[in-house]
A and B are shown apart, each in its own frame.
Chain A
């Protein structure tokens, strides 16, 4: 579908532009302003140039050491949860019942963790994991496994990771399920005639059909886990020691805890820049996939083709025009 060039469309976009600019650009300017200054309280500010940025990227200083350590922990955390949640999400999506009331029931239960306020997610796992009153902690200790997420680094890490898997695997599963639903029945029939194995069907039909939604899932999960704050803050408070202090927790500690505005602002900018770069990669890959898909759809409109590796053109418009339009 070709779009027409129409500069007046700006009027339609203007409200969004104003609302988001008010919430995004003004605060960001404040951050940039603070990041160049130092303060000794009383609203007196001193020019500090790029001093904070130098300190931030130098691991030998206190600020730099803390930032780089939390960044490392955060990257490791993101990789671990991706490695667990993506395969698990695919398996769960493939295990969805096909029809009947169980489909709706499963969907509702799957979506449930996603709609719980993040600090309540933390509270749930706090209550569930405590060795004295929690089912999980009590059972593990009764089985002879020593488990206490408050005092043991590894236990704290395991708790935070299991909590994230509990909270977000459903998102990956629901996305994959949406991808699987769009596969036409004919593909499976063709595979059956060819005598394809279960694994071949997965590799040649289901995985290629899911790759777009999987891309969305991986990038959303990467970015959201990279910004994680509330859940680990409630459960472990960043401890024991600093072992589960992620970048956002460190940032809030500096900004609202110590009120060290300059340092916090510099950290914010670098943090934002990292997110922005990842976001740009996401956007580019997404739009390229869209363009490719369109080109492919135009190239071979009616030609017969094998399902293998094929990215399908978009399914029929979801909303059929209703009668009585004109």
Chain B
């Protein structure tokens, strides 16, 4: 009754459609460049780890991963810590301009990154943050903070108000109530919000590339270097691509039971 006829076939076909391009990337990353260019092979006939070895031994390559992770983690921490109290306020209280503020936040989530690329470049150059992880972490707040507020507000609203009242009657101060009671209650919500901040910061490239030049260059931008005078280094490009997929795949595994609800922004 729940599902449609032929659902196994449909699901299998769709999953193959999703996995086939990824398989091709993985396949390429294990081939030698001469094999890639000369013949069409469905699996690597002379498997090699040379591309991975190069990425892990060349500092200009692996530092890109560290830079990316650095600003992603910074951004996630900033976003969640400022969004938590705000989510509580939006969920529990009415105050002057609350609806307008909420809409304004939401509109920033939707603003195209291309619009902000140039002004951000000017702003962060002016205050001396250009080419640091902080610049990218702060820039990504523009879409991650509103998202975190939105998700967390849904989760805070799921906590009965009686709990607040009981805690205050028992003499809990507000900060103590917040940390000792509220945060543990919405722990899974915080996990989901952190997952989304991680995700959107990890996949974004335009701002990250514009705001960095050497020191804090993200891996996604370094990948463009594989175009050289000798032509494309396809194997190396594929290996770098595979390595960018891994952190995402790991994170998904931890939140797999909350993914569906999280994508509905805690509002199903």
Does A124 lie at the interface of the complex (its beta carbon under 8 Å from any beta carbon of B)? yes
Majority secondary structure of chain A interface residues (helix, strand, loop or mixed): helix
Does A157 lie at the interface of the complex (its beta carbon under 8 Å from any beta carbon of B)? no
Does A1 lie at the interface of the complex (its beta carbon under 8 Å from any beta carbon of B)? yes
Cα of A94 to Cα of B123 in the assembled complex, Å: 48
Does B105 lie at the interface of the complex (its beta carbon under 8 Å from any beta carbon of A)? yes
Cα of A20 to Cα of B103 in the assembled complex, Å: 13
- A117 x B93 contact (CB < 8 A): no
Does B56 lie at the interface of the complex (its beta carbon under 8 Å from any beta carbon of A)? no
Among the 9-residue stretches A56-64, A302-310, A314-322, the one with 4 or more Cβ atoms under 8 Å from chain B is: A314-322
- B106 x A3 contact (CB < 8 A): no
Contacts A13-B89, A229-B206, A264-B118 given; does A98 touch B113 at CB 8 Å? no
- A94 x B112 contact (CB < 8 A): no
Cα of A145 to Cα of B33 in the assembled complex, Å: 27
B249 in complex: contacting residue of A1, A26, A115, CB < 8 Å: A115
Cα of A317 to Cα of B186 in the assembled complex, Å: 11
Cα of A1 to Cα of B161 in the assembled complex, Å: 9
B138: which A residues are within 8 A, CB to CB?
Answer: 19, 22-23
Residue tally, chain B, CB below 8 Å to A: 114
A24 in complex: contacting residue of B36, B96, B111, B149, CB < 8 Å: B111
Residue of A nearest to B208 (CB): A117
Contacts A1-B157, A118-B203, A275-B110 given; does A181 touch B118 at CB 8 Å? no
Question: Which of A110, A117, A135, A271 counts the most B-chain CB atoms under 10 A from its CB?
Answer: A117
Does A4 lie at the interface of the complex (its beta carbon under 8 Å from any beta carbon of B)? yes
Contacts A227-B114, A229-B114 given; does A112 touch B22 at CB 8 Å? yes
Residue of A nearest to B21 (CB): A128
Residue of A nearest to B218 (CB): A117
Contacts A7-B95, A13-B101, A283-B103 given; does A178 touch B261 at CB 8 Å? yes
- A96 x B3 contact (CB < 8 A): yes
A123 to chain B, nearest CB (A): 5
Binary interface encoding of chain B residues 164-191 relative to chain A, with 1 for a CB under 8 A from any of its CBs, else 0: 0011001000000000010011101100
Does B237 lie at the interface of the complex (its beta carbon under 8 Å from any beta carbon of A)? yes
B49 to chain A, nearest CB (A): 19
Contacts A95-B11, A134-B24, A248-B112 given; does A279 touch B107 at CB 8 Å? yes
Cα of A226 to Cα of B93 in the assembled complex, Å: 34
Does B267 lie at the interface of the complex (its beta carbon under 8 Å from any beta carbon of A)? yes
B153 to chain A, nearest CB (A): 11
Within 8 A of A (CB), among B218-234: 220, 223-224, 234
B143 to chain A, nearest CB (A): 9
A107 in complex: contacting residue of B8, B10, B241, B259, CB < 8 Å: B259
- A16 x B82 contact (CB < 8 A): yes
A208 to chain B, nearest CB (A): 14
Residue of A nearest to B68 (CB): A117
A188: which B residues are within 8 A, CB to CB?
Answer: 1-2
- A227 x B185 contact (CB < 8 A): no
- B18 x A109 contact (CB < 8 A): yes
Question: Which of B36, B108, B166, B170 counts the most A-chain CB atoms under 10 A from its CB?
Answer: B108
Contacts A20-B141, A116-B203 given; does A325 touch B158 at CB 8 Å? no
A216 in complex: contacting residue of B7, B141, B259, B264, CB < 8 Å: B264
- B268 x A106 contact (CB < 8 A): no
B121 to chain A, nearest CB (A): 8
- A283 x B18 contact (CB < 8 A): no
- B145 x A272 contact (CB < 8 A): no
Within 8 A of B (CB), among A112-146: 112-120, 123-125, 127-128, 132-136, 138
Residue of A nearest to B114 (CB): A248
Does B25 lie at the interface of the complex (its beta carbon under 8 Å from any beta carbon of A)? yes
B167: which A residues are within 8 A, CB to CB?
Answer: 325-326
Cα of A318 to Cα of B112 in the assembled complex, Å: 33
Residue of B nearest to A252 (CB): B114
Within 8 A of B (CB), among A259-276: 261, 264-265, 268, 271-272, 275-276
Q: Which 10 A-B pairs have the closest CB atoms?
A: A115-B248, A27-B119, A95-B7, A12-B89, A9-B93, A12-B85, A9-B89, A178-B260, A227-B112, A15-B82
Query: What are 15 pairs between A and B in contact, CB < 8 Å?
Result: A1-B161, A6-B92, A9-B95, A13-B90, A20-B145, A31-B119, A95-B10, A112-B249, A177-B260, A192-B1, A213-B268, A272-B111, A279-B103, A280-B103, A280-B107
Binding site for A on B (CB under 8 A): 1-5, 7-8, 10-11, 14-15, 17-22, 24-25, 28, 36-37, 40, 42, 78, 81-83, 85-86, 88-90, 92-96, 98, 101, 103-108, 110-120, 122-123, 138-139, 141-142, 145-146, 149, 155, 157-161, 163, 166-167, 170, 181, 184-186, 188-189, 199, 202-206, 210, 220, 223-224, 234, 237-238, 241, 244-245, 248-249, 251-253, 256-257, 259-261, 263-268
Given contacts A98-B2, A133-B37, 8 further A-B contacts (CB under 8 A): A30-B123, A95-B10, A97-B7, A112-B22, A119-B205, A135-B20, A230-B206, A283-B103
